[in-house]
Amino acid sequence: MVKIGVLGLQGAIREHARSVEAAGAEGIIIKYKEQLADIDGLIIPGGESTTMRRLIDKYDFLDALVDFGKQGKPIFGTCAGLILLANNIVGQDEAHLSLMDMKVERNAFGRQRESFEVEIDLKGVANNFEAVFIRAPYVVEVGPEVEVLATYQDKIVAAKQGHYLCSAFHPELTDDHRLTEYFVKMVEK
């Protein structure tokens, strides 16, 4: 059985682990960088990207996460995880993991009170997918190797680059596990 880790520093950690289990894989909460050696793929959950980066630095995860991705192991970033994967963040001098060739805008759909749910079509994944946006970012532009999987109001909200997957929304907060299943299939390949 494929082992999918969920970075356990902040965010909807348990919800992601449940979604992984529902998608037919083993979900493992990752609290220590040494655990990365025992998993086949990794989900970086939503949360607050600046806080997550502080925790990544505090627990010495940065190089280990970059190395994990550069080894060809799949990574799926949701919401703040999308921001962490990007190589360019509007209004910031430095990116975090810089694993995906894309420019992102933080809190692009508004503050907490502007959070919303909407059905979107995810290319090659699912039609009528219920997407939950909470202080969500979006992708401003992508490089030539990045495939856009979904847009909302002409803004990119899901994308894939090789073994990296990202969404601006929270798929783990619904009972629709099709996007997590898609990631599990990426890991199985």
CATH number (domain holding residue 174): 3.40.50.880
Whether residue 111 is predicted with pLDDT greater than 90 in this model: the reply is: no
SS (H, E, C) the chain: CCEEEEECCCCCHHHHHHHHHHCCCEEEEECCHHHHHHCCEEEECCCCHHHHHHHHHHCCCHHHHHHHHHCCCCEEEECHHHHHHEEEECCCCCCCCCCEEEEEECCCCCCHHHCEEEEEEECCCEEEEEEEECCCCEEEEECCCCEEEEEECCEEEEEEECCEEEECCCHHHCCCCHHHHHHHHHHHC
Residue 48 is predicted with a pLDDT of 86
Residue 177 is predicted with a pLDDT of 95
Domain count along the chain: 1
| 41-64 confidence digits (pLDDT tens) | 999 998 888 899 999 999 999 999
- Tell me the pTM: 0.95
Active site residue 172: yes
Of the candidates 16, 79, 166, 177, the residue annotated as catalytic is 79
| 145-166 confidence digits (pLDDT tens) | 999 999 999 999 999 999 999 9
Residues belonging to the binding site are: 47-49, 106, 134-135
Of the candidates 16, 96, 105, 172, the residue annotated as catalytic is 172
Residues belonging to the binding site for L-glutamine are: 47-49, 106, 134-135
- The parent domain of residue 76 ranges over 3-188
pLDDT band at 112 (very low <50, low <70, confident <90, very high): low
Higher pLDDT, 122 or 113: 122
